[in-house]
Amino acid sequence: MNKALPMTAVEMRHRGWDQLDVLIVTGDAYVDHPSFGAAIIGRVLESRGYRVGIIAQPDWKDLDSFTVMGKPRLFVGVTSGNMDSMVNHYTSNNRLRSDDAYTPDGLPGKRPDRAVLKYTNCLQRSMKGVPVVLGGIEASLRRITHYDFWSDRLKKSILLDSKASVLVYGMGEKQIVEIARRIDTGSVLTGIPGTAIALHQGKYKSKDGDIVLPSHESLNSNPLELLELSKILEANQNPWCSSRLIQHTDSRVVVVEPPAEPLSSEEMDAVYDLPYTRLPHGSYRGEIPALTMIKDSITVVRGCSGGCTFCAIGLHQGKFITSRSWGSVLREAKKISSSSAFRGTISDLGGPTANMYGLGCNDPEQMKRCRRPSCLYPSICRHFRTDHSSYIDLLKKTGTVSGVKNVFISSGIRHDVALCDPLFMARLTSKNISGHLRIAPEHTHDRILALMRKPTREVWEKFAAEFKLNAGRSGRKQYIVPYIIAAFPGCTIGDMQAARSFLETQGAIPRQVQIFLPTPMTVATAMYFTGRSYPDGEPLRIPRKPSDKQQQKDMILYGTQGMKNLRRKDTVNRNVDHRKGFSSKPPGR
């Protein structure tokens, strides 16, 4: 039987270890499942012969909680977990969330704000001299100067604030193995693709082709430069043709190496074939909501070619698609179906975008030169494959695994790409959705869609019509569930009212609407911060007040009349003290 990676000294001794090679500290509960980043990195290092332990959700107020397994021989890896800790803690209106899906029983408060910084500080105090390697989404999106929504200001690279040895951006399997090898052999950590390091000015040596970014001080004095910074970042996301990015801050220099090459299909298979238990660590008693949601799903694809301006996937996973082989996916399906808790349904064969499986650039030479931020906007690139036959076959084959009754797609699809393949459209409505198909048009106004780099409303209308036609032929009741973003830069209440009217005609009122959240380093966040559009720099109206943002969200959910009813109800709630049964005094009296 597979064993989880150790979390205590006792578990280390049971393995016959007196010292770890690598310690991983994570803000998530430890779930030994390939949907959890700390588990993947731990298992990859283990497969290379390293002794790896995990400390999950340590008490940052108690340094002893970081030393329960002693100092590791090589380094400590630090991640906030699968989510950015600030996104995990706060809503788009900067209100504290009441739960944490990555904690047993969903309890909040088990990880600190800005977890990467807090954990690194604790480790440097408790394990002096041990190298610290930053990784995960929180570090990845803060590798250079970035706008921080929660403090409403520009912040330096997290490397400088943390004083860590090296930062890994991206998914990290290749980088972490090379870092371990170099530390083990006493080699320097410079020049590793997909990493960033900080140097003092005197130690930085320029190379031909280096691109010098606006300095942190320059960005503070001229915020509009953040748009230029975003353009440079997007133009240097291709591992095969990107340059080193250099940013000066005070007396230091952050050196960002070009991205690591994406895993090949064979390398991705090897990662997902590692001996995960697929279970929470045995010390947990409560349910971990994030695991409950994905325990019967399978990641089959990485990367996203959409290049949406608000999305961090391209900055983290990259735009180039890697798909697992059928054999690897079927092996995982068999593991899932052999569980006594399995009820016959594979809930998802997906990834960032499910129907990207088997797609991507069909011209390797062109791909290695490409600097387009999106393969799909303003139109689908002629080199981009749109034939879904490989994905259709995978869905069919997974459905033949013993014990599997249903195979559903629940991670959402790219509707403009789906429209290119009539066979896939027919397959969707007849077999692989449970009644509700999730897609993300995000808006219905072409002006806002252009700012998002999303397909036009006409594409949405064509998709909806084709979907309804195929659903009618299949004889099954099927519905589209759209995801909409409210309060996007440039969006007005009038735009949201028009969107509501359009969605009503389509019979597709969303159940949930997300208020735009400016996550670090995205193009949309640069637009939010500067109040200018990308790429032409024209002024934009930016909804900044929480009340304005909420009003846009409510307009989609409830419409004009519904909002009037909400306002009347809100007025009553403000003026009546329900505990005493009488009108309260107006504010300020």
Q: ∠ at Cα 488 (510, 144), nearest 5°?
A: 125
CA distance 514 to 497: 16
CATH architecture group of domain 436-446+471-589? 2-Layer Sandwich (3.30)
User: What CA–CA distances, in Å, run from 31 to 39, 225, 281, 574?
Assistant: 7, 41, 6, 44
Strands (E) in 100-244, as ranges, are 132-134, 146-148, 153-155, 166-168, 195-200, 211-212
pLDDT at 577: 39
pTM for the complete prediction? 0.93
User: What CA–CA distances, in Å, run from 482 to 160, 417, 488?
Assistant: 40, 16, 16
pLDDT at 578: 36
Q: Which of 3.40.50.720, 3.40.50.300, 3.30.420.40, 3.30.750.210 would CATH assign to domain 296-434?
A: 3.30.750.210
- Please, are residues 359 and 321 in contact by the beta-carbon 8 Å criterion? yes
CA distance 80 to 470: 43
Asked whether this chain's domains 296-434 and 436-446+471-589 adopt the same fold, the reply is yes
CA distance 313 to 215: 25
CA-closest candidate to residue 316, choices 244, 237, 258, 376? 237
Entry field: residues in the chain: 589
pLDDT at 585: 31
pLDDT at 570: 57
Does residue 180 sit in helix, strand or coil? helix
Peptide bond into 489 cis (omega under 30): no
Residue 481 CB partners (closer than 8 Å, separation 6+): 436, 437, 438, 439, 508, 510, 511
CATH architecture group of domain 9-197? 3-Layer(aba) Sandwich (3.40)
Residue 187 CB partners (closer than 8 Å, separation 6+): 181
pLDDT at 567: 65
Q: Where in the chain are the domains?
A: 9-197, 296-434, 436-446+471-589
pLDDT at 584: 29
Q: Can you give the pLDDT of all 589 residues of the chain as single tens digits? A: 579 999 999 999 999 999 999 999 999 999 999 999 999 999 999 999 999 999 999 999 999 999 999 999 999 999 999 999 999 999 999 999 999 999 999 999 999 999 999 999 999 999 999 999 999 999 999 999 999 999 999 999 999 999 999 999 999 999 999 999 999 999 999 999 999 999 999 899 999 999 999 999 999 999 999 999 999 999 999 999 999 999 999 999 999 999 999 999 999 999 999 999 999 999 999 999 999 999 999 999 999 999 999 999 988 999 999 999 999 999 999 999 999 999 999 999 999 999 999 999 999 999 999 999 999 999 999 999 999 999 999 999 999 999 999 999 998 899 999 999 999 999 988 889 988 888 899 999 999 999 999 999 999 999 999 999 998 888 888 888 899 999 999 999 999 999 999 999 888 888 789 999 999 999 999 999 999 999 889 999 999 999 999 999 999 999 886 666 666 655 544 444 333 333 223 333 2
The torsion angles phi and psi of 30, rounded to 5 degrees, stand at: -80, 110
